[in-house]
Structures are given as structure tokens and as C-alpha cells.
Structure 1
């Protein structure tokens, strides 16, 4: 765990990016869960919840997604149901995606 904390601190100091921190944290937790725990320990939801939530600003998220669509990084083939729900919640038209493709 000390190594985990040290790596996360280095990542935060290096980029100071909250999103990168959360992604790295999720990756490390998934690795620990998959490779270092016994099967009965993996079922302990108090240790490793099914989903990790984070709060984001709606307007910043809308801007980020629109930029990702324009740059062609928003691939609707990956997780299409989730991405359609996100676009609907953020009031982003599917027409924007069609123009970017």
C-alpha cells in the first residue's frame, strides 16, 4: 500500500490532474483485486466496490466531450449504450458526432 500511495503522489505532483489520478487509482485497485487477492476476498464489497464514482462539473465535461468528438477520440463503438446516455444527460446532439465522423 505504501508503494501504491507513493506512485499516486508522484503522478499527482507530475501532472496535477485529478482525472489522471482517478484513472490510475482505478487501475491499481483493479490490479490488486485481480492478482493479489484470494477469491473470497474479492467478494468483499467493503474493500472493493463494484463501481468507483467521482464528481465532475457538467460544463467542463460537456466541453471535454465536444473536444474529444471533434478530435475523433470519442468512439461510439466502445460502450455505446453508456455513451448515448452521457450525451443525452449532457444535452449533446448526436448530429455533432455525425459531423465529426
Structure 2
């Protein structure tokens, strides 16, 4: 009975690890990574640094995501029909302007 219980516990642990590994692969998204990175940087800036340390650009760059990656992600979202201008139109216009992307790309996809 003891050996059986020990083997079952090991088997169930391996099963759980395998299922968690699959979930991690599904949710391993660059956007999520950058959001978490931005949250951690904001927390460090707010709670752990003195005001003069917060201005160090070598530690805290203005841009976290490369522009090319952002453009690629937005183009994929437009092509997949996930980029809807009706949701948050002002914010999306500002993003397109900052990334120097044409509105024609968005209008062609709509």
C-alpha cells in the first residue's frame, strides 16, 4: 500500500507538471512579458528608488518594446481582425501615430 501510494503521488505530480507546462506554452506571449516588465519597473521606480535615481535613463529606458515588434504585432492583429478601431479609438490613433503607421492599413483591413 505504501509503495502504491508513493508511485501514484509521483505519477500525479508528473501529470500536473506536464499540464502546467502546456499552459505556460499557450500563455507565453510577448505582450504579457512586456506588461509584466513594465509593472515591475514601475513598482521599482515608485517604491524602492530615490527621486534622483528615477531619472537614470540607463536603468529605465523610455521604450520597453522595440518599435518593429510593436508594428509587427499590430499588423498581425489587423490581418486577423482583432484590431477594432471602435474599441478605444483615440488610444489606437495615438499608437498608430507614435509607430508611424498609416491609417490606410487599418482602413483596408476594416
Partner in structure 1 of residue 6 of structure 2: none
TM-score by length of 1: 0.57
Distance change (3 Å), C-alpha of 1:44 and 1:70? closer
2:91 is aligned to 78
Given candidates 37, 62, 66, the residue that maps to 2:75 is 62
Question: In the aligned structure 1, how far is the partner of 2:37 from the partner of 2:83?
Answer: 26
1:47 maps to 59
Contact 1:42–1:48 at 8 Å: present in 2 too?
Answer: yes
Q: CA RMSD in A?
A: 3.4
TM-score normalised to structure 2 length: 0.54
- Structure 2 residue ranges without an equivalent (≥5): 1-22
Structure 1: unaligned runs, 5 residues or longer: 1-11
In structure 1, what is the Cα distance between the partners aligned to 2:32 and 2:60? 20
Give, in whole Å, the separation in 2 of the partners of 1:51 and 1:59: 16
Note the 1:8-23 alignment, pairs <5 A.
13=24, 15-23=27-35
Larger radius of gyration: 2
